[in-house]
């Protein structure tokens, strides 16, 4: 996978908007959360009951511009850091013209599904994450 990778498109429906007529914060969070699952799937990650899996430890969303009802936006992902047990991801929500609408920084940690304790990132996944890992511009 080459980064940044385009993950999915989001439609800002009228019922996703608040009293100001723009996308409500809860729907940004849902879109970024969905993008996280699309990201891991794109790397070939398939969860099972015996393999380490990523879980979200921290999320920070920075809002850059309002998104009015009817907007169609896309989300891109960039690996910002690969540690022993954790990974930093940066998701950028953009309008069709390319302008940044929101940035979501995620720290994920790998846990073993049975022990629920942190564990090292599996080697094959680490290689895929590290291959083109670097800090995103900006």
Terminal Cα distance for the chain, rounded: 22
State which residues form the domain around 95.
5-130
* Chain segment 3-46, per-residue pLDDT in tens: 666 777 888 898 989 898 888 999 999 999 999 999 998 888 88
Q: What is the CATH number of the domain that holds 116?
A: 3.10.129.10
Q: What is the dihedral of CA 87, 79, 53, 120, to 10 degrees?
A: -40
Looking at the structure of the chain, the number of domains it has is 1
135 part of a folded domain: no
Task: Kindly report the number of other CB atoms within 10 A of residue 80's CB atom.
Answer: 17
113 part of a folded domain: yes
DSSP-based three-state secondary structure for 109: strand
pTM, rounded to two decimals: 0.86
């Amino acid at each position: 996978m080459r980064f940044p990778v385009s993950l999915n498109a989001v439609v800002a429906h009228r019922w996703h908007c608040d009293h100001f007529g723009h996308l409500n914060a809860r729907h940004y969070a849902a879109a970024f959360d969905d993008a996280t699952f699309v990201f891991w799937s794109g790397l070939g990650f398939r969860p099972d009951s015996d393999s380490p899996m990523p879980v979200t430890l921290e999320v920070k969303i920075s809002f850059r511009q309002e998104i009015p009802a009817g907007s169609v936006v896309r989300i891109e992902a960039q690996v910002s850091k690969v540690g022993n047990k954790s990974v930093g991801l940066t998701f950028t929500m953009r309008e069709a013209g390319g302008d940044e609408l929101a940035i979501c920084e995620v720290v994920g940690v790998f846990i073993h599904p049975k022990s629920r304790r942190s564990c090292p990132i599996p080697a094959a996944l680490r290689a895929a994450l590290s291959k083109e890992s670097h800090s995103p511009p900006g």
